[in-house]
Amino acid sequence: MNEPDFKSYTAAAEMLKALAHPVRLCIVRGLLQKKQCNVSYMQECLNLPQSTVSQHLQKLRSAGIVETERSGLEIKYTIADERVKQLIVLLLPKEDAIYE
């Protein structure tokens, strides 16, 4: 039988919920491209208040989608769950090329 139990569904739903926001998708896609990024850079890219960006990042972080590493004053974010790469490929229109 081996049906996914309720817990599996809940866990998967949590992950999807964390990704299910245009700003967070944008952050994640940027991280997949750039591999690593600090908050102020994202903030400029997104053109959103710092606290807003930070809150989205915390949501991604507590879902295990990204992780952090401090480097002096900055916190560098990276992708922590490789599955999101495939999710993004599946869901966002492809790029012709990715620079850098």
Q: Give residues with Cβ within 8 angstroms of 8, minimum separation 6.
A: none
Structure tokens at 69: 């590493």
Asked if 91 touches a second copy (CB under 8 A), the answer is yes
Report which residue type is found at 19: L
Partner interacting with residue 78 (select from DNA, a second copy, none; CB below 5-8 Å by kind)? none
Task: Kindly tell me which of 6 and 73 has the beta carbon lying closer to a second copy.
Answer: 6
Least distance from a second copy to the Cβ atom of residue 32, Å: 12
In the list 70, 82, 95, 96, the residue contacting DNA (rule: CB under 7 A) is 70
User: How far are the Cα atoms of 37, 38, 46, 61 from residue 77, in angstroms, in the given order?
Assistant: 5, 6, 15, 9
CB of 91 to DNA, least distance (A): 16
- Is 78 a binding residue for DNA by CB under 7 A? The answer is no
Which residue, chain included where needed, has tokens 């949590």?
A: 14
Q: Under the criterion CB under 7 A, does residue 10 sit at the interface with DNA?
A: no
Least Cβ distance, residue 95 to a second copy (angstroms): 5
Torsion region of 63: left, alpha or beta (phi above 0 gives left; psi -120 to 50 gives alpha)? alpha
